């Protein structure tokens, strides 16, 4: 569908969305980013998995990538509070090496691969600025990231710790990293927000999520478009 048709469809569907909701869509889309994205590898606790979706939405991160090598990613709606409706979740679970598939897919899209680990050789989050498109990988609290991810990272990142405990809860780690990186991006002058074309695509997707029987209205639009 070309952009002119997309714009016409957005205007058509807009008649079935409240002005408040449309205004909210525009406001949120202006702050959406794909410059940074989150990748979860084998996170199996539903509470943590769901809290990460919520953090992505709250910090304006549009995409969440989920690697399911041995654990299925399950979202708890009581924790997400509807945020999974607004974040695009991509699952990798169809090959013998889903982690490598995810890495290769993100590299093809221009992302720098960054693994999180408290180990030596990792960069302090406080000194880290994602000048290039950056995918941040998080592993399980017990075992961390797999050898596949660790062997294929471009950089390693750590959250500075001041106590006896070696790591934060995974959902807390994601929230801390996103808060810090978002703050830095907004102060950096980098063009990190999504494009106008991406905004239009997302707005159409979001409108269809809030309009009951949206397929029927789109069929009506298609008939009128071709008349």
**pLDDT of the residue at 141:** 74
Mind giving me the DSSP string for 79-131? HHTTGGGTSEEEEE-SSS-HHHHHHHHHHHTTPEEEEE-SSTTPEEGGG----
Q: Is the pLDDT of residue 38 over 90?
A: yes
Taking only the tens place, the pLDDT of each residue in 175-214 is 999 999 999 999 999 999 999 999 999 999 999 999 999 9
Please give the order of strands across the beta sheet that includes 155-158. 88-92, 63-67, 36-41, 134-138, 112-116, 155-158, 123-124
**Number of C-beta neighbours around residue 146 at 10 A:** 22
- Cα 130 from Cα 181, distance rounded (Å): 7
Confidence label for 76 from pLDDT (cuts 50, 70 and 90): low
Which residue shows structure tokens 């290769």?
104
Q: What does pTM read for this prediction?
A: 0.92
**pLDDT of the residue at 189:** 92
Q: Is the pLDDT of residue 81 over 60?
A: no
**pLDDT of the residue at 226:** 82
Q: Largest Cα–Cα distance of the chain, in whole Å?
A: 70
Which residue shows structure tokens 């990190």?
192
Asked whether 133 and 112 are in contact (CB, 8 A), the reply is yes
Fold of the domain built from segment(s) 33-193: Alpha/beta knot (3.40.1280)
Confidence label for 119 from pLDDT (cuts 50, 70 and 90): confident
Domain extent listing, the chain: 33-193
Q: Which of 25, 27, 168, 177 is nearest to 86 (CA)?
A: 25
Measured on CA atoms in the order 31, 194, 83, 56, is the torsion positive or negative? negative
Query: What percent of the chain has pLDDT above 70?
Result: 95
Residues 6+ away with beta carbon under 8 Å from 216: none
Residues 6+ away with beta carbon under 8 Å from 100: 148, 152
With the CA atoms of 121, 126, 128 and 134 taken in that order, what torsion angle do they form, in degrees rounded to the nearest 10? Answer: 100
- Cα 21 from Cα 53, distance rounded (Å): 21
Q: Is the pLDDT of residue 173 over 90?
A: yes
Taking only the tens place, the pLDDT of each residue in 14-33 is 999 999 999 999 999 999 99
Q: Which of 194, 217, 214 is nearest to 32 (CA)?
A: 194
- Least confident residue range of 41-50, 64-73, 74-83, 122-131: 74-83
Q: Which of 33, 61, 41 is nearest to 116 (CA)?
A: 41
What one-character DSSP code corresponds to residue 82? Answer: T
Which residue shows structure tokens 């592993």?
139
């Amino acid at each position: 569908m070309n952009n002119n048709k997309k714009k016409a469809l957005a205007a058509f569907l807009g008649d079935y969305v409240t002005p408040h909701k449309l205004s909210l869509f525009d406001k949120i889309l202006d702050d959406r980013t794909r410059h940074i994205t989150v990748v979860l590898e084998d996170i199996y606790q539903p509470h943590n998995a769901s809290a990460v979706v919520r953090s992505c939405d709250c910090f304006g991160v549009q995409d969440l990538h989920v690697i399911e090598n041995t654990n299925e990613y399950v979202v708890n709606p009581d924790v997400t509070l509807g945020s999974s409706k607004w974040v695009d979740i991509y699952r990798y679970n169809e090959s013998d090496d889903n982690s490598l598939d995810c890495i290769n897919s993100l590299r093809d899209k221009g992302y720098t691969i960054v693994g999180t680990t408290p180990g030596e050789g990792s960069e302090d989050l406080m000194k880290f600025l994602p000048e290039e498109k950056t995918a941040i990988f998080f592993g399980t609290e017990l075992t961390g990231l797999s050898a596949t991810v660790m062997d294929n990272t471009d950089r390693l990142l750590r959250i500075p710790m001041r106590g006896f405990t070696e790591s934060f809860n995974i959902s807390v780690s994601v929230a801390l990293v996103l808060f810090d990186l978002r703050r830095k991006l907004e102060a950096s002058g980098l063009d990190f927000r999504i494009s106008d074309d991406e905004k239009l695509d997302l707005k159409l997707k979001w409108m269809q999520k809030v309009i009951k029987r949206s397929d029927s209205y789109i069929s009506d639009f298609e008939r009128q478009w071709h008349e």
